[in-house]
Amino acid sequence: MKDYGALLKKYHLKATPQRIYMINEIEKKGHINIDDLYESLKKSFPYISLATVYKNINAMVENGFLSEVKIPKMKTKYELTKNEHAHLICTKCGALEDIFIDTQCIKDDIIQKSGYTIEKTLIKIEGICPKCR
Ligand SMILES: [Zn+2]
Ligand SMILES: [Zn+2]
């Protein structure tokens, strides 16, 4: 298990047992929505409220510790902030996976064609996962 306490402090976040648990769960699942996270938290913290989960998640998103993953037709999922990556989504089972690709050539192409400065790249690829194929 990683030292999430120290990691939280680096982001100026208080390392509460609930937060450590949340981060472990997010790391384990890769991406998780609030409802699933809440269900799992209740096993260890029976008195935790959904509002508390939201409050903690929002604080961690604000500090950049967590990132939101918004996928149309799906509940917003959360993941630990990682290096830039694309998301693969299975249209059959809804699996969501990270795929680390080099987006620099896409960015260069877009900058050249549009003259924009790019702040953020969100890449989502839909397909059928190996399990569903
Ligand atoms: Zn699938
Ligand atoms: Zn991801």
Quote the CA–CA distance of 55 and 125 in Å, as a whole number.
30
What pairs with residue 124 in β-bridges?
87
* Residue where the block lists tokens 């991406």: 31
> Which listed ligand is nearest to 93 at the C-alpha?
1
What pairs with residue 126 in β-bridges?
89
Instruction: Specify the pairing of strand 32-33 against strand 77-80.
Output: antiparallel
**From ligand 1's centre to the CA of 94, what distance in Å?**
6
> Which listed ligand is nearest to 91 at the C-alpha?
1
**From ligand 2's centre to the CA of 97, what distance in Å?**
6
pLDDT digits (tens, 9 = 90+) for 45-96: 999 999 999 999 999 999 999 999 988 888 999 999 998 899 999 999 999 9
Q: Where in the chain is the domain with CATH 3.30.1490.190?
A: 86-127
**From ligand 2's centre to the CA of 103, what distance in Å?**
15
Which among 121, 36, 129, 120 is positioned nearest to 88, based on CA atoms?
A: 129
> Which listed ligand is nearest to 86 at the C-alpha?
2
The answer to whether domain 86-127 has CATH 3.30.1490.190 is: yes
Q: Where in the chain is the domain with CATH 1.10.10.10?
A: 4-80
**From ligand 2's centre to the CA of 73, what distance in Å?**
17
pLDDT digits (tens, 9 = 90+) for 1-37: 578 888 888 889 999 999 999 999 999 999 999 999 9
> Which listed ligand is nearest to 94 at the C-alpha?
1
**Rounded to a whole number, what is the largest CA-CA distance in the chain?**
54
Which among 109, 104, 90, 13 is positioned nearest to 57, based on CA atoms?
A: 13
Residue 96: count other Cβ atoms within 10 Å of its Cβ. 20
- CATH fold, domain 4-80, is Arc Repressor Mutant, subunit A (1.10.10)
